[in-house]
Amino acid sequence: MSGNFVSNACRLISAHLTSTGNTTIFTAVGYVQVIGIRLANVTGSNVVATVNWFNSAANDQFRLLFQHAVPANGQVWLPLEAFALNESDQIRVQAGTANALDVILSISEIPGRSG
């Protein structure tokens, strides 16, 4: 899917991961599609990252990317191609090293739509 998001309200959500805990980056309000997630390693060593989708209806989380090595001083782009979130669903990221990853989440919001 090559989604054309130009006509939708797109925005970026950013976070510095300061711990190794499973950090909530975004909680959906209304109808949201995730375009992709960029993980930037700001250290000189490889860092392992896990990206999770928390399904609020099931009260469970599922891995979108599991223990993936983000190269030293490099980045990884995870294309999610309009992955639809329902109300209160979350995107969470966990880093193997504190203060090593910056996260940029690209989303598209569609006004007036509900999941």
Express each pLDDT in 25-60 by its tens digit. Answer: 999 998 899 999 999 999 999 999 999 999 999 999
Could you tell me which residue, 60 or 115, shows the higher pLDDT?
60
56, 63, 65, 50: which is closest to 89 by C-alpha?
56
Question: What is the structure's pLDDT at 6?
Answer: 55
pTM: predicted TM-score of the whole model, two decimal places: 0.89
Instruction: Give, as one character, the DSSP assignment of residue 88.
Output: T
Consecutive H or E run containing 109: strand 101-109
- pLDDT tens-digit map of 52-103: 999 999 999 999 999 999 999 999 999 999 999 999 999 999 999 999 999 9
pLDDT of 101 reads 99
Structural domains in the chain, sorted by start: 9-109 (2.60.120.340)
Alpha-carbon span 44 to 74, nearest angstrom? 9
Q: What confidence tier does 1 reach under pLDDT thresholds 50, 70, 90? A: very low
